[in-house]
Structure 1
Amino acid sequence: MARAIIKKASEADERRPFVSHGEASILNLGALSIGRGYFEPGWQWSKHVKPIAGTETCEVVHTLSVLSGRMHIQMKDGQEVDLEPGDVAFIPSGHDAWVVGNEPCRVVDFTGAEDYAVARAGKEEPEQPSLQ
């Protein structure tokens, strides 16, 4: 029988800092991962997450709700959209994004958390010190 899983949104299972200007917090709920994104003014995916992901554009599919702040999305095909508080959006892979204005943008992402701001396979990882 399945059991209920209750967690505090403020107590993430994992935090993934960007190069700068924010972080993704991941909450694991059984087979589901929920992401909470905090993006400071000046944040842009191509500057602050691309070096981590190692891809030309964000290849994660997002289904998200904007809690505060504003974000601009630019798709690889040229489509551009603006997100603001109260918006719920589906963002397919192949995009760049950046914060608009001077207010941090906070989102809850229901589909992209497990792969967001994670080094892609084949991308060189920094060497870890030996324990020997």
Structure 2
Amino acid sequence: MSTSTSTKADQKNFGTPDETRSFERGKVDIVSVAGSDIGRLTLEPGWRWSEHVKPIAGTDLCEAPHFQFQLSGHLKIRMEDGTEYDGRPGDVVSVPHGHDAWVVGDETVVLVDWWGASNYAK
């Protein structure tokens, strides 16, 4: 008995995303690859989820879970229980729903997010 697997490759580039959602001090570019939405978040200095995305989301905290790879900048994440994390270049982070986040310092934060991007800033 033979096992069938797809041999069709799928490739996209964030330079020509399928969708871009802009918000104050940031944006998310989304590409759909092999049935999954992958997001690249670009967050400028001064960006904070509770100030710049909360009005769009309409929730007290970010309710999107994230599984992300950080390319640049310094991101502070505070969970609902008060636990804080620092995201820095090279970090791979799983963040459950119920958090706030903000850019620390003067460098733009760039993240690639495999979860949560399809609903981010909607």
Q: Distance in 2 between the 1:25 and 1:108 partners?
A: 9
Match of 2:49 in 1: 45
User: Structure 1 stretches (4+) deviating beyond 6 angstroms?
Assistant: none
2:114 corresponds to 1:110: yes
Q: How many residue pairs are counted as aligned between the two chains?
A: 117
Deviation at 1:101, TM superposition (A): 0.3
> CA RMSD of the aligned region, Å?
0.9
Match of 1:91 in 2: 95
Match of 1:129 in 2: none
Tell me the TM-score normalized by structure 1.
Answer: 0.86
Deviation at 1:72, TM superposition (A): 0.1
Q: Distance in 1 between the 2:110 and 2:116 partners?
A: 15
Match of 1:57 in 2: 61
Per the alignment, in what secondary structure is the counterpart of residue 103 of structure 2? strand
2:22 corresponds to 1:25: no
Deviation at 1:30, TM superposition (A): 3.3
Q: Distance in 1 between the 2:59 and 2:29 partners?
A: 21
Deviation at 1:25, TM superposition (A): 0.6
Q: Distance in 1 between the 2:119 and 2:13 partners?
A: 21
Tell me the TM-score normalized by structure 2.
Answer: 0.93
Gaps of 5+ in 1: 119-132
Deviation at 1:44, TM superposition (A): 0.2
Paired residues of 2:49 and 2:101 also in contact (CA < 8 A): yes
Q: Deviations over 1:91-125 (max 9, x none)?
A: 0000000000000000000111111111xxxxxxx
Structure 1 residue identity aligned to 2:110: R
Structure 1 residue identity aligned to 2:26: G
Q: Deviations over 1:28-68 (max 9, x none)?
A: 11320000000000000001101111111000000000000
Structure 1 residue identity aligned to 2:9: A
